[in-house]
Chain A
Amino acid sequence: MRNSLLTAVALVLSVSSNVTWACATCLCGDPTITTMGTEKPFAGRMRAGVEYLSRSEKTAQPGLSELVTEEQRVTYSFSYAFNSDWMFAASLPTVTKSFSRFDSSTAQGSGMGDMDFSARWFLGKDSRFPARYLWGMQLGLRAPTSTEQKNNGVALDIDAQPGVGATVPSVGIWYGRYALPWFLYTSASVQHAIADGIQGYRAGDAALTTVMTQYAFKNRVAVQLSLDGRFKRHDKYVGIQDNDSGGVLVMATPGLAWTPYEDFVVNMSYQIPVIENSNGRQEEDATLRVGVAYDF
């Protein structure tokens, strides 16, 4: 699957330079390299992206109840700005999750995950052009679009399901400082599942924060470093608390963003857990993300 993504990038890079590209930099007046979700809006801006993610974690007690989970995910995203105040986005994940348990049981589930919809409201900016400071709100909704996966007619365990089938609204605020070659972006949001999902699963309320700094070299390559924090309550299964869920997790994320062609961004990041104050026993491994984004 990684080879497929890299193949896609290689194919795009090999396209003739005679092809006319949209010029997002020209229209927003800011050459800052931005990944999906951090871009500046202008009327009619369309962006599409694909991101690959690989992660794994261990929970519960070794030899007694341990669960090792692995996940491969490709997320297809699209965003559109009606005007300079609003930008809407949708993303569809395709997921393969597998687990192995202490009792030698295993399972793998594959399929579409739950779609995410978001609306970024650009509340304010400074008066300069291009604007150096922007801030606003973000409204999100994770919709229960996944289908419960089965094997031989029997539903797979929730830990192998590609989605949880729950409706999770979110609300947050964000702030961006675009000062080429520097770029600072920070956001904070809260999520709350409003109903149980598949097999009675309900994710605990969560608060997510990100602080990202970026430095660009000649508007082509940027190095990034962010701190991504998650503060989460226990998950529940049919009303019963999962003691090995939730807690505090902070990940340091070094990354790289590259613009081989105008309006095309390739980004790669590696999330490393640096603070794990999780409930029960949870060991989150480092997470690899590789993505591409293109402005139409």
Chain B
Amino acid sequence: MIAAVAALAGCPGQENNSAESGIRVHFAEVHVNERPAVLGKSTGLIESPIAAGPARAVARSISARAVPLDTGGYAHTALEYHEITDNASHGLSMYRMYLVVDHVELVPCASLSQLPMRLLNSLIPTASAHAGHGAEPVGGRSLGEANVIDVVTRDEYYLALGDLAVAPGRYCSVKVALGPAQDDSYGKPVPAAASADDPISTPDVPDLEGKIFALRADYCTTFDAGVCVGRARVDIDDAGLTLPDVQTIDFATPLEVSATKRNAFVAIGIAYGTWAHDVNVSLLASDMNERQKFADNIASSLHVFAKGLGGLPPNVSAE
């Protein structure tokens, strides 16, 4: 009996349970028409500060004055859209624009002590945010699968993509990869046919399976006394195109996380206003070279909208 008591006292199975959460980086996506201006040295891969002021509304109010219908395209005055300008001063109105972010990865700052591991990682694919390793869901999304971004939504809105568990250290850049949507991608819309009217009052929702982006847009082809009376549709996707696999975006200053700095955030920006700056949108539907430039601009528009310690900044209420 004495032996049994002595053996039981202080034995495994009687300690207190405990848990401490790890270091988390919260990722979000923010789309804007243009990258906010940044003071200081520009490397072409700009880290943007948080834009001040309320987000700009997208929807256009329907005027009480009768206007001629601009046939051939979409019901421009009745639909929500984002507008961008090409190199021929065409205004491309985007009614549906979906872009698929496949995965993100923080890149540690280079140091001599990490050189052997970085060499090893260059030979062996690094484990970024993929299923089962460090990706945690937030708001119904996770970085463990691809995320579909609806660009024709409110600008400057932090869309939480998920949290990533990372090791303590200093991180100097983020890799963002675009990739095709799969059946289990987050935010993948349900395909739907367009309405049968002209102009089209309800654009179709494209089937994004296997696609990296899909666009439903139009531009004005015919003006009458300064009013657009004819439009041409630009319905394209990445079929036949080659998008760059990974965009590496440098931070202006390293992001440092540690046991005492356990939360940080990185917001990936998409500056859609830059997509058509060297493209003639009237050729997009027919010319693959123009579409390839458009696709390259999509990839190049990725930037770091904001980063810092703590959780994601709160979204400002819309006007």
Within 8 A of A (CB), among B114-145: 117, 126-127, 131-134
- Determine whether the beta carbon of A156 is less than 8 Å from that of B166: no
Contact of A8 among B7, B12, B23, B167 (CB under 8 A): B7
B6 touches A4 (CB 8 A): yes
Residues of A within 8 A of B12 (CB): 1, 72-74, 94-96, 110
A266 at the interface (CB under 8 A from B): no
Check A64 against B167 for contact (C-beta < 8 Å).
yes
Cross-chain contact of A96 among B2, B15, B20 (Cβ < 8 A): B15
Cα-based distance from A246 to B82 in the complex (angstroms): 52
Do A240 and B131 form a contact, CB below 8 Å, given A96-B15, A105-B20, A106-B20?
yes
Please determine whether A50 and B7 come into contact, CB atoms closer than 8 angstroms. yes
Which of the residues A4, A62, A150 comes within 8 Å of B17, measured between beta carbons? Answer: A150
Interface residues of A in 16-63 (CB under 8 A from B): 50, 60-63
Determine if A4 and B22 form an interchain contact, defined as CB atoms under 8 angstroms apart.
Answer: no
- B90 contact set on A, CB distance < 8 A: none
Residue pair A108, B22 in contact (C-beta under 8 Å): no
Contact with B along A92-108 (1 / 0, CB 8 A): 01111000011111111
Nearest CB on A from B113, distance (A): 11
Q: Is the CB of A11 within 8 A of B2?
A: yes
Q: Is B103 an interface residue, CB under 8 A from the partner?
A: no
Kindly state whether residue A109 has any CB partner on chain B within 8 Å.
yes
Tell me the smallest distance from the CB of A164 to a CB of chain B, in Å.
15
Docked Cα-Cα span, A62 to B133, in Å, equals 13
Query: What A residues does B24 contact at CB under 8 A?
Result: 103
Give the Cβ gap from A263 to chain B, nearest Cβ, in Å: 14
A96 to B14, CA, bound (A): 8
1/0 contact string of A1-15 vs chain B (CB within 8 Å): 101110111011000
Chain A positions within 8 Å of B258 at CB level: 104
Is A160 on the interface with B (CB-CB < 8 A)? yes
Q: Is the CB of B134 within 8 A of A3?
A: no
Contact between A110 and B15, CB atoms less than 8 A apart: yes
- Size band of the interface chain A makes with B: 35 or more
B52 at the interface (CB under 8 A from A): no
Residue B16 at the chain A interface, CB threshold 8 Å: yes
In the complex, the answer to whether A162 meets B13 with C-beta atoms within 8 Å is yes
Quick check: B3 and A12 within 8 Å, CB to CB?
yes
B residues contacting the other copy or chain, number (CB 8 A): 38
Q: How far is the CA of A112 from the CA of B127 in the complex (A)?
A: 35
Interface residues of B in 1-58 (CB under 8 A from A): 2-4, 6-24
A5: nearest chain-B partner, CB-CB: B7
Mark contacts of A206-226 with chain B using CB atoms, 8 A cut-off: 1 yes-contact digit, 0 otherwise.
Answer: 000000000000000000000
Q: Which residue of B lies closest to A7 (CB)?
A: B6
* Binary CB contact string for chain A from 77 to 120 against chain B (1 if under 8 A, 0 otherwise): 00000000000000001111000011111111111110000000
Q: A64-B126, A103-B23, A103-B134 in contact; A4/B10 too (CB < 8 A)?
A: yes
A65-B134, A110-B16, A111-B13 known; A101+B7 contact, CB < 8 A: no
B107 to chain A, nearest CB (A): 12
Which of A4, A9, A151 is the one whose CB lies under 8 Å from B18? Answer: A151
Please report whether the interface of chain A is mostly helix, strand, loop or mixed according to DSSP.
Answer: mixed
- B6 CB contact (under 8 Å) in A11, A150, A240: A11
CB neighbours (8 Å) of B309 from chain A are: none
Q: How far is the CA of A176 from the CA of B310 in the complex (A)?
A: 63
A3 near B10 with CB under 8 A, answer: yes
Judged by a CB distance under 8 angstroms, whether B170 is at the interface is: no
CA distance A205 to B98 in the complex (A): 44
Judge if A196 is at the interface, Cβ distance under 8 Å: no
Assess whether A149 is interfacial by the CB under 8 Å rule. Answer: yes
Q: How far is the CA of A131 from the CA of B61 in the complex (A)?
A: 98
Does residue B67 face the partner (Cβ distance < 8 Å to A)? no
Write the B258-276 contact mask toward A (1 if CB under 8 angstroms, else 0).
1100100000000000000
Chain B nearest CB: distance from A58 CB in Å? 14
Residues of B within 8 A of A110 (CB): 12-17
A11 to B133, CA, bound (A): 49
| Chain A residue, CB-CB nearest to B8 | A4
Task: Give the chain B neighbours of A106 by CB distance below 8 A.
Answer: 18-20
Best-surrounded residue of B23, B126, B132, B258 (most CB of chain A within 10 A): B132
Interface string of B162-195 (1 = CB under 8 A from A): 0001111100000000000000000000000000
Cβ-defined partner of A94 (8 Å) among B11, B21, B108: B11
Which residues on the B side are within 8 Å of A112 (C-beta)? 13
17 sample A-B contacts, Cβ–Cβ < 8 Å, listed by A number? A1-B11, A3-B10, A4-B6, A4-B11, A8-B3, A63-B108, A63-B167, A63-B169, A73-B12, A94-B13, A94-B14, A105-B165, A108-B19, A110-B12, A110-B15, A110-B16, A240-B132
- List residues of chain A with CB under 8 Å of any chain B CB: 1, 3-5, 7-9, 11-12, 50, 60-65, 72-74, 93-96, 101-113, 149-152, 154, 156-157, 160, 162, 237, 240, 242
Known A101-B22, A103-B22, A110-B17; further 12 A-B contacts with Cβ < 8 A: A3-B10, A8-B4, A60-B127, A63-B108, A94-B11, A103-B134, A103-B165, A103-B167, A108-B17, A112-B13, A160-B17, A160-B19
